[in-house]
Structure 1
Amino acid sequence: MTAPLRVLVCDDQMLVRAGLVTVVDAQPDMEVVGECGDGRSAVDLADRLSPDVAVMDVRMPVLDGIEATRLLAGAGVDRPAKVLVVTTFNLDEYVYEALRAGASGFLLKEAPPDRFLQGIRTVAAGAALLDPEVTRQLVGRYAARIRPAADAAEATPLTTRELEVLRLIADGLSNSEIAADLVLSPETVKTFVSRILTKLDLRDRVQAVVYAYRRGLAS
């Protein structure tokens, strides 16, 4: 039997945290190995417990979820952790910053339990979790803040087709949706996505979205 996914839950609202813990612990393939109410404790617990996924709120005392995510999953971290940010929609600016800090994905707190659980499984498997609708609103809204590099499209190592795929990733489309849009097979799209991540030295689709907007390759 496969060992259950080890989950760390960090949220400063006790009732919310208790609810998340209850939902996770009820799953046969998951177990909560730790819980806390601030980012500093999350970093300390993650270092000690090595969870498969850290579920992270954004606004918390002592150390907020963005800084905690950067310490757990950011560039230069020896053993980056997988972080799933769970927050409210009116904190979307903070979620964007959390994605830049290294989070593997995000969900809204009003998401149904099954989507939350699938999010944990998705992130634990090494994939990124991006809700298409929220991605378009979230990243698009704050893309204007990011100054694109000069001649970014010309400087990228991607082919024309890879750029098309990257732009659709930035729009929040899944592989199957990209395949339908470009009239390709899902397997071909999966290959393109893998090539894009490799060429750009990116960890996952979340980083690809941020890259696209930072480089002015998406709008």
Structure 2
Amino acid sequence: MSYPKKQKSISLAWTGASGAPYGLKLLECLLAADYQVFLMISSAARVVLATEEGVQLSANGNKAEVQLNELFAARGEYGSPLKGSLHVLGKDEWFSPPASGSAAPKQMVICPCSTGTLAAVATGMSNSLLERAADVVIKERGQLILVPRETPFSSIHLEHMLSLSKLGATIMPAAPGFYHDPKSVQDLVNFMVARILDHLGVEHDLTNRWGYDKHNAEDSDK
């Protein structure tokens, strides 16, 4: 299969940790920002997506692409269709761009990231396209962001995070803040996705920024 190259491309992976809403919102924002997104979804991630979002995503990549695009169109937050392009890849699609340093995007986010995936990436397992894609970004000195969702973290988890941090990866646990006065679960999701987008250099208006929100503005008027 051929993949027409866009100026902005990124690899995104969803794994079996809780936090499917983060992954969905991040994907929607990247497509709205006109990114070419190579999406890898583990089998456990499909179970989590169905449990947390009620989305029964097909294991067939082409069908999954249609489902996700229809889902975002139904939300209508950014208009339809979204500007970017989506490619859902299977775990054995070794001839896809993320599998090779000569073609892979220089940025990758694993959100949510299970501790199993964390371990596989930290030890260079590369037993699936998802793991290989992360390995490629590391070896090519690209930007890798992992969003683990687990509590508490064991020493094993922390050692894997430290190993990846030393390799240049960014460890960004799914820990939304509350100082922006969230009114809904979606506000908390948006906060976390906003932090990820900040690190990727993607413009957004998902949440108020510290020092610019209404509370600080009111305080400055007193």
* Higher share in helix: 1
TM-score, normalised relative to structure 1: 0.35
Which gives a bigger RCO, structure 1 or 2 (Cα 8 Å, sep 6+)? 2
